[in-house]
Each structure stands twice: as structure tokens, then as C-alpha cells.
Amino acid sequence: MHAAATSFELHIPASRSLKAKRAAIRPIVDGLRHRFRISVAEVDHQNLWQRATIAVAVVAESETRVCELLDAAERFVVSAPDVELLSSQTAWLEFEEA
């Protein structure tokens, strides 16, 4: 079993309210959930209008599959309109073989 989580730090330059920010972030979160069947949540900057951090978690049968899903998720985030990806960070969960 292989597992990893990636966080995406986002800038929403056109947002002038929390409502506008949520309108920009919601399609990304919902799209990642439904398209890739991965866990997604907004994890930081909930009270800032132009910043957001979303995180995705992936568990798969191989490291290759985890990497494919995380890469696809990043491409999806980058392609979102009205949102700029500032940075991303990935953490791997390590398991000992029994």
C-alpha cells in the first residue's frame, strides 16, 4: 500500500469576498473528488479572501499510481480559471512491510 498527500497553496486575485473565494474553490474541490475519486479538503486560509490551501490524499496499490493521481490533480488545479497555484508540497506516508 502506498499513500501520499499534497497541499496546494492558491491565490484567487479576483476575489473580493469569502463568497467569491468559495465560488472559485468549490469547482476545484468537487472536480478533484468526482474526477479522480480522491479525498480533498480546504485546510488553511479559510477566512482570507484571496488565499486558500487545499489538500488531497491518495492511497493506491503502487507508488506509480499515487504519483499519476497527484500529477493529474496538480494539472487540474493549475488549469482552474481565476486561480493561481503558488506552491505545492507532498508528504508520503511510510509503511513497514510485514
Cβ neighbors of 11 (< 8 A, separation 6 or more) are 50, 51, 83, 84, 86
Strands 2-11 and 51-60: antiparallel
Count of C-beta atoms within a 10 Å radius of residue 85: 14
The answer to whether the pTM exceeds 0.85 is yes
What pLDDT was estimated at residue 98? 60
Q: What are the domain boundaries of the chain?
A: 2-90
Cell numbers linked to 60: 493506491
- Length of the chain equals 98
Asked if 4 and 64 count as a contact pair (C-beta separation under 8 A), the reply is no
Third-level CATH fold of 2-90: Alpha-Beta Plaits (3.30.70)
Over residues 85-96, mean pLDDT: 90
16-65 residue pLDDT tens:
999 999 999 999 999 999 999 999 999 999 899 999 999 999 999 999 99
- Phi then psi for residue 36, to 5 deg, are -110, -5
